[in-house]
Structure formats: structure tokens, C-alpha cells
Chains A and B, each alone.
Chain A
Amino acid sequence: MPGNGIHEKVMPGNAIQQKVMPGNAIQQKVMLAKPRLAREQIAQRAALELPDGAYVNLGWGIPNLIADYLPKEITVYFHSENGILGMGRRAKSGEEDFDQVDAMKVPVTLIPGASFFHQADAHLMSRGGHLDVAVLGGFQVSEKGDLSNWKIPGAKDSGGIGGAMDIAAGAKTLIVCMEHTTKDGAPKIVKKCTYPLTGLACVDTIITDLAVIDVKPEGLILREVARGWTAEEVQVLTGVQLIVRQQIPEMSFA
């Protein structure tokens, strides 16, 4: 998988295998008051994970912002579950065609080489391992890479699954973009998901307003932290022990 090389980066010399301990309530309160990245910055960081020429599906929420931050020198073929490959930018006022919409019902443009197909083929691309990267929003991600992203427990309405389960089951690389904690400050990266599940062991990378974390068989490996944050501070707001193997670099945006 091109672009994934960074996941496998081995630190020079004898890498430090250091475990950072979870924080106490006072530390958590202090950490929750610290500034974090904006949603747009999460999207901007995630855009750097997309390899040139990749077929990519973007889910609702933060992932939907990623297309605006693609580096100029690369071309990505965005996939929409309603049967489009090669979506371009959103249509401007006056050029909208409401038969040409994305999964959020927004009129879009096409890039050269785009194609249309029916919904079964669109999901076949998701499930059959044809998409290089999918980026979804998340409510919770577990230590094993389980994802919950479609229903909040106790919600009165019906909830809705959409294409998320097909994508979780089949994308070659699944990135989840989300805030690091809930609005109440509870960690969204957890030992075991307590929200209704979308898929088991499906997430490869988590990008939050505090960190970039890779899901590996040995655990969650901290790759980058947001400016102004240390590994120890990120750990305080994380429900799982993070593996810290190196001096953690600051999240890059270019």
C-alpha cells in the first residue's frame, strides 16, 4: 500500500519502548482546558495520508472536509457510495445538478476520468478491497481497532448505518478522524467499545485533535502529537495505554 510506509517507520538505534501511565482526575481537568486542533486541522492532517492516485472514500463529518486540503501535486479519485468515482469539488452556485450529488446530498463536480455506476457496484468497491483508503468519523475506537460510529446508546431516534459497515469490512486502509474525547471529556479511544459497533478490528490509523495513532497487533502506537502537547498529556485523555517508541514528533500539516 503506497503511502503506508510511514506507519512502519522504525526508529534508529535501540527504540525506547516506554509506557505512559493514565492520568488522574485532576490532570484530566487540566488537560481538558488546553487548546486543541480544529476539525479542519484534523482533516488537513488526514489529507497527507492519501497516496497519489488512490481511490478514496470519505465519510460524514470531519472526513468530508479532507478534500479541501489535498496537496496540489497529487490526484485522488474520490468514491461516493451512490455510484461515483472521481468526484471533484462541490458545485458552485449556478452549476449544481441535483442528479450529481455526493453521499451527503451535496451537488458535486467530476474530475476527468470519472465514472458512474449503481449502488451495488459502489459498495462492492468498498467491501471487495478495491478502495485504497477510507476515512470515517468515529464515536469510539478500541485498542483492537474496533469501531463504533453509527449510533449513540440511548438515542431516541432510529440511528442509521449507511455504508459504514461495508467500508469498515473492506477498505484496504481505514483511517478514523474524530475528536480525542467526547464533549464531556470522556476518552473516545477505549479498551472496549461501549457504543454499538460498526466493525471489529477494522481501524488502521486514528487522527484526532491531539494525536496520530496507529493500530497494530501489539497495541496503539503513538505516532505524532498536536503542537503544545506531550505524549504524557495525550495519554491522560486516552482510555488505553499508548505505546511510545520514540521521541514523538509534532503533527505535520504539509
Chain B
Amino acid sequence: MLFLRACLLALLLPMFAAPASAQTQDFDALVTSLPEGSYSARGAVVGAIALTGDPRAEAILTALLDGALGVIETTGQVVILAPAPADALAGTPLTDAEATSAERIRVNNGLRRDIRAALGILTLSDPDPAKRLAAADAAFRAPDAAQYELLDAAFQREENPAVKSRLAEARAVAILDGDFPDAEKREAIDVIADRGDADAQRILTPFAASEDPDIAEAAAAALASIEQSRMLWGQAQNIWYGLSLGSVLLLAAIGLAITFGVMGVINMAHGELVMLGAYTTYAVQETIRQNAPGLFDWSLLIAAPLAFLVAGAVGVAIERGIVRHLYGRALETLLATWGVSLILQQSVRSIFGPNNREVGNPSWMSGSFDVGQMTVTWNRLWILIFALAVFAVLLFVMKRTAVGLQMRAVTQNRPMAASMGIRTNWVDALTFGLGAGIAGLAGVALSQIDNVSPNLGQSYIVDSFMVVVFGGAGNIWGTLAGAFSLGIVNKFLEPYAGAVLAKIIVLVAIILFIQKRPRGLFAVKGRAVEG
């Protein structure tokens, strides 16, 4: 232990500019020198701070890593800015004036690595298992043979199984990094191979070319088995990506399945209705940020009904104002709604400006989790769930409610429906409004994964029509099947053909498919076809 410290210090000393030896430098002087010098010199200071073993070191280094360590320029006083502003060394609280005058100390990649390594040394024996796990992780990511003894000691005394297994891996990479006997290295390779993931592959690849035949063979065997399991997981991952892309397509297209599929209106402004939904989300988030920051995680749930209402209202206005005068004249409808789309785009540009607007991810939509060797991001998962929920609700409305029955009746046989006492005008407006409102809901979801800009809608309009036509106009289930099959096919092609070519291949395939089956996957049969 002592030997190791001496070793580390010897390494640090040449980088450390001060003439006096680091051992005699007291903790305070080290901390005060943190804001000065180049990143690499400060990295050395960070290492020296960790080695002092001072109880204040952890809090200071954590603050530095989080960008919460500051310096008051005039006095050179180092302060912790968050959560409660205080002097970093004395721990005395700061006045507001002092806290605002402090400048944040900046960190870069290299320095962040140094801080994490230093924190790892400090927290290997922390009472909190989560912190020990993080420390083991840091050691695993920055393999250093010099840390072997520390890691080994921590491994021997560790009792928490999760932390122990992570420590075993960290210890193994330290062994692989240094000059250890072959038998130990073989053992280490086995430990790493058990992970069976990308990290294991990264660590083991260089050893497959090792000069020692035993080690090379063990590494190569481990790599082969990793490769195989990764291939299988790769397929699963592709299916997941396909489902996720499919859910985005479904959301974008499902409103169109009503306006175009059921009503037969070629609505070129569909994408702009999606955009309106996204901007509604932005407006809701801005209001929440200013008035009730605590509600931020709920912002999407609040935005969803509002987006439905805003887009739905605009939809009804479009139907009443323009589309109803043009029923039966497809070409004119197309041109008129395209004009509407330009008007909507430019008005949003004038109101909100041409720049992208920032829509934040609530905490429950950020990050990812691993299923086996597959990474599933939370935002994509929620969007998939949301898309299916919207689909289910829409299906229910169309098939199981009186309004849905009237909508279907009017689109299938208008004179008959009218003679049964249905106010067809109102049903038209309502149907169009429903489709538009659902487009607004799609906007809420898309704001989480795409840019909120006036052009948001344009990128989805072609895809939406593609899905509806492919799935079969007039059939909501067809839209579901169309969206998911296009998503999955696209994602399976992408690794081989590239994103650009994959899109082209899918488009060509759809054109050929439509030649064969002009009414799409699930053609509507019977007399309704003519309606």
C-alpha cells in the first residue's frame, strides 16, 4: 500500500509543477491550486488530492466532476456551489453575493477520467455498496496494473455479491494490464470472457494475438463464443430497432389512416399537424419551467390532451374552411392542403422563430437499460407503448362507439347515412378533427426523439402516406401491420445497405408491391371499396 502510494507519487511528481514535494504540500494548498494550470497538470493535482486521504477530498472531487466546484476570482477561494454554496475547505456557508461571483472550474475529458480514477481510489472502501460498485466500474474502465493491490484487497474483503463480481472483473483487467504470471492471466481471461459483451470483446481482442499460445488460444476461444452470442443478440436488437422505428411510423401514420384511409382526403398538411403537437409540448414545458419546475416530469402527460385539442381544432378549421368545399376533387384537395401546410409552417416560424426549440426528456424517458446484450432506451420503449395505446383507443372509438359507427357509415354511404338522420357535415368535421388530433398526439411523442422545428412535419409526410398505402387504405389494422413491417425490414437492411440505400430499397419494394396489390396489404373488400 505504502509502496504503491510512493510509486504513484513518483509518477505524479514530474507533472506536478511545484518545486516542493507533494507529500509536504498540504491538502489546502492542493485544492487552492485546482483552478490553475493546464488540464494535465490539474489531473496530477487531482491524483495528489486523492492520495492525501483527507475526508474532504471526496466531496470536493465529486463537485469538480459535476461542475459544481467554483472559484472566487478576487480571493482565489475555492467553493462548492451545489447543493448549498459553501467554502470547499472550511465548509462555511457563502453569502449570496459570494456565491454569484464564483466562476465554475471547467473540466475536460482527460481531467474527468483522472477524477473518476481518483474517486475510485477513495471510494473502494466506502460503506455504501452503490459507491463501491461505481468505484469498481471506474477501475474496470481505466485498467491500471498499479491499482492491482488495492483492487485485490478490496476484492478479498468484499461481501456484497454484485460488487464482488464487478471487483473480480476490475481486478482481472488490472492483471491483464500488467506483468503477471501466465496462469493468472488465463484466469483473468476467463473472468472477462464470462461477461460476454462488447467490453469483454474490446479487452480480449488484443490477447488473441498474444505471443503465448495458451493465452492466445484462450482469448480466441472466448472471442469466438462472444462473437456468436453477439450475433444472436444482434438479430434481437435489430427486431427491437425495427419495432421502435415501426412505432414512430405508426404514430405518424395513424392520424392519416383516418383522414386519408377512412375519409379519402389527401391531407398534405398532416405533417404540420404533427408539428403543432410538438410545439404544444414545447409551450407546455416552457410554462412548467417558469411556473412549476417540480411538475416537469409530468409535462408530457399534460401536453398530450392539449396537443390533441390544438391539432384537432386546427384540423376541424381546415375541414370546415377548405376541405369540405373540395370533396371528390382529389387534386384540388392535395394542392389546397399543401398550401395550408406552407402557411402553418411559416406561421410557426414567425411565432417561435426558425431555430429548433428544446424539448426536454422527462427523467423517466432518459437513459437505457440492458436486456441481455441488448440496449433498450427508455424513450423508445415508452413511444412504442404510447403508439400501441393510441392505436387501441382509436380502434375502440371506431369500432365500439356511436361516433365511430356514424363515421364509418358516412364514409361508406353518405346519402344512406344522411337519410338515417346522421348530420353528415358534423361527422365529417369530427372525423377530420379526430385524425388531426391524433397527429397532434404523435407530435408529443416525436418531440422526444426528433427536432422541434417548423420542418418537423415534412420529414414524416412521405413515410406516413407510404405506410397507409402499403397497409391498405381504409384499414386501421393494415396501418399497424404496415408500420411495423416497414420498420423491421428497414432496420434489417440498414446494417448491410446503409441508411440511404435501405430507404431506397424499401421504397422500390413498396412500389413493386403496390403494382401487385394496388389496395395494399389488407385491402378493404366488398361494397365499401367504392364508397
Q: Do A and B bind each other?
A: no
B→A interface (CB under 8 Å): none
Please give the residue numbers on chain A whose beta carbons come within 8 Å of chain B beta carbons, in ascending order. none
